[in-house]
Structure 1
Amino acid sequence: MNDMRLLLFKLLATGAICAGAIYPLLDPELREGLFAQLLARGLPLLSLLVAGFLLAVALYCRSLQRCLSLLQAQSRTAEPGSVWLMFLIPYNFIEDFFIVANVSNSLRAEARYNPRLRGLENFGMRSGHGWCAAQLVAFVPNWLGELATLVALLLWALHWRFIIRVNRLLSQRQPATAP
């Protein structure tokens, strides 16, 4: 897929996500789910939760950026700074899949010659794409969306833990070898 087609796909998919997210606002009977419950508890609590979540996303992005920065340039399928596209809302809901794939594919490429990464199996693709998919289902304004929110948060935490582990492996100093 060339760059222009890929961008068009991402923009169209983002448009579909936006339409799905806006639809419950147009139909009062669909205004339920986790977001509605939090909003009912007051704007200050919701604001605090959103701020905390955005801080967590920033720390996660920093971990992903560090991960890509620790890889050899020839292993990277994306620039380390590209992970910050996660803050480009609502585009991020689609772009997150590509960010996760780029990090996973970069790790896979690095593992071909970096012994520190031997033993890794899926390079974070399952948990990463799992949280990306679950966050889309979380837009459903009912119990399914609430369940998907919990699944997304759990898988996101697992993926983040995996990235932290990889960063530790990549940061280890090479043992000194005798001349």
Structure 2
Amino acid sequence: MRGRTIVLTVPVTALLTQPLWAPQWGAGVLGEFAGLGIVWGSAAIAVFFGLVALFVMSLQRLLGAIPASARARSPRSIWLMCAIPFNFVEDFEIVTDIAASLRADGRTSRLTVT
């Protein structure tokens, strides 16, 4: 995990924990899930992580099709998308590394704006 991922995760963590240090501001994003009730809130979280798992497996297959010499990261590291709270920032790093890997393998070219 890169240093900038950790640094940028600090404000994300602050926002996620806002109900603990500033309850007068409201329940925050976790209050939205609590508002659904325990069953539906848990179901929403489970569906979300299920969809993330499918996305991760697709990205792993994509990265696995690229020769190791052209990869900017390991296919196994894609599972960091599930590492809360780092995932909010790490997702951008992962997509950037996949794009760099595709360019290094010659599958895509750098986008130029004219």
Could you say whether these structures have the same fold, taking a TM-score greater than 0.5 normalized by the shorter chain as the test?
A: yes
| Structure 2 counterpart of 1:51 | 46
Counterparts in 2 of 1:16 and 1:34: CA distance versus 1, 3 Å:
closer
Using the size of structure 2 for normalisation, the TM-score is 0.80
Using the size of structure 1 for normalisation, the TM-score is 0.54
DSSP 3-state at the match of 2:2: helix
Give ranges in structure 1 of 5+ residues lacking alignment.
1-5, 123-179
One-letter amino acid matched to 1:26:
W
Counterparts in 2 of 1:37 and 1:91: CA distance versus 1, 3 Å:
closer
**Aligned alpha-carbon RMSD (Å):** 2.3
| Structure 2 counterpart of 1:28 | 23
One-letter amino acid matched to 2:90:
E
Give ranges in structure 2 of 5+ residues lacking alignment.
none
Separation (CA, whole Å) in 2 of partners of 1:32 and 1:23: 8
| Structure 2 counterpart of 1:75 | 70
User: Would you say 1:19 and 2:18 are equivalent positions?
Assistant: no
How far does the alpha carbon of each residue in 1:17-36 deviate from its partner, in whole angstroms, 9 at most, with x for none? 21122124433342256643
Aligned length: 111
Q: Could you tell me how far 1:44 is from its partner in structure 2?
A: 0.7
| Structure 1 counterpart of 2:101 | 106
Q: Which has the higher Rg, Structure 1 or Structure 2?
A: 1
